[in-house]
Amino acid sequence: MDLEDTLLMMPGPVTVTPRVLRAMSKPMINHRSAEFAGIYTDCREILSSIFQTKNDIFVLSGSGTAGMEAAVGSSVGSGDKVVAIENGKFGERFKDIAAIYGEVVPVVFEWGQPVNLEVVKEKLEEGAKAITLVHNETSAGILNPAAEIGKLAKKHDALFIMDGVTSLGGDDVKVDEWGVDIAVVGSQKCLAAPPGLSVVSVSEKAFEVMKDVTKRPYYNDLLAYKKSGDKPKAETPYTPAIPLFYALQEALHIVKEEGMEARIKRHRVLSEAIRAAVAELNIEMFPQLNEYSHYSNTVSAMKAPTDVTGEDIKSDMKARGVIIAGGQERLKNKIFRIGCMGNVTGRDVLSTIQQLEIVLN
């Protein structure tokens, strides 16, 4: 496979521009220095506007899952009830993490089915310390009702922990307006940086809750991140992945130059184009929607036609130089997914559709 001539259209990692790749090759610096503090502070400022929040922001060395575990592990202790909503693989992951740190109250829907808010409400009424939701469920291509879950969490005084791993930076995410206490994004998705970092925003309420949790994770303790982040020369508790911070800073400047409004619009328009094109090819979308759940604007999940599997489509596309994704676990072979994250262009989408049409005929 020619890595230089491959179109990466999977739901992360995404193509990283040469500008970002070059930034990674700068010399190492002292991570407890004004130079590092400058980079970290710059990243945090731009991230605040992407997250639409005044909450504290931390950058963790570790992929999106590290951020998910930091969020749950820092704020949930033994015996604490966590309502964990699942309608795909990453909701299941939150549920599994919650089961390690607290007492999980699973609210499980079939993967790709919309979240039933009535069921969530009933579970919250029984009392819970926290609720977890995956905003953009990448495994099923469905955008879950974060604003509505935020309202329910507030009403029942539960911490709202949200995985925005594949929505932040590509779709509209209103952390403060929706009342998200902890939100998480991964560097390799819509921010278009390399994999290896996660970013977490934390509300004052969440910090208060964390103080009472005695067994927080050691490496991914968000209170430790706060202590280091609050220093006059902001830093991280342990040695950060410095080359990835260089890359993230550059990727965030690209986001800033485009502007979030334009960036969200581009993701929406291109995802709509994918949906329109596959409909013309008689391919059905996979997720079932309701008035609160929508198609994802960063990854499209489609049912594989009866005469071919999702894995066949994925490998035929790869042979034609386009990397897309199949289905994960129980969805393997049943679906295929096209990512539309980061700095994807109309030309990328058109090339993908062109190859898909050939593969399917």
Residues that bind ligand PLP (CB under 6 A): 12, 63-65, 90, 134, 136, 138, 163, 165-166, 186
Helix H or strand E encompassing 80: none
Residue 140 vs 349, nearer CB to ligand PLP: 140
Q: Is 212 exposed, middle or buried (0-12, 13-18, 19+ CB in 10 A)?
A: exposed
Residue 36 vs 94, nearer CB to ligand PLP: 94
Residue nearest to ligand PLP (CB): 64
**C-beta of 143: minimal distance to ligand PLP in Å?**
11
**C-beta of 128: minimal distance to ligand PLP in Å?**
21
Residue 167 vs 355, nearer CB to ligand PLP: 167
How far is it, in rounded angstroms, from Cα 172 to Cα 287? 20
**C-beta of 126: minimal distance to ligand PLP in Å?**
26
Report residue 309: phi and psi, to 5°. -100, 165
CA-nearest of 294, 49, 93, 356 to 191 is 49
**C-beta of 235: minimal distance to ligand PLP in Å?**
23
**C-beta of 338: minimal distance to ligand PLP in Å?**
14
- Is the Cβ–Cβ distance between 301 and 286 less than 8 Å? yes
How far is it, in rounded angstroms, from Cα 298 to Cα 252? 18
How far is it, in rounded angstroms, from Cα 19 to Cα 271? 25
- HSE (side-chain half, CA atoms, 13 Å) at 200: 34
Residue 341 vs 359, nearer CB to ligand PLP: 341
**C-beta of 164: minimal distance to ligand PLP in Å?**
8
Residue 40 vs 90, nearer CB to ligand PLP: 90
Residue 179 vs 186, nearer CB to ligand PLP: 186
- Type of residue at 196: G
**C-beta of 157: minimal distance to ligand PLP in Å?**
26
How far is it, in rounded angstroms, from Cα 231 to Cα 256? 26
Residue 113 vs 281, nearer CB to ligand PLP: 113
- Is the Cβ–Cβ distance between 76 and 220 less than 8 Å? no
- Angle CA(276)–CA(294)–CA(202) in degrees, nearest 5? 130
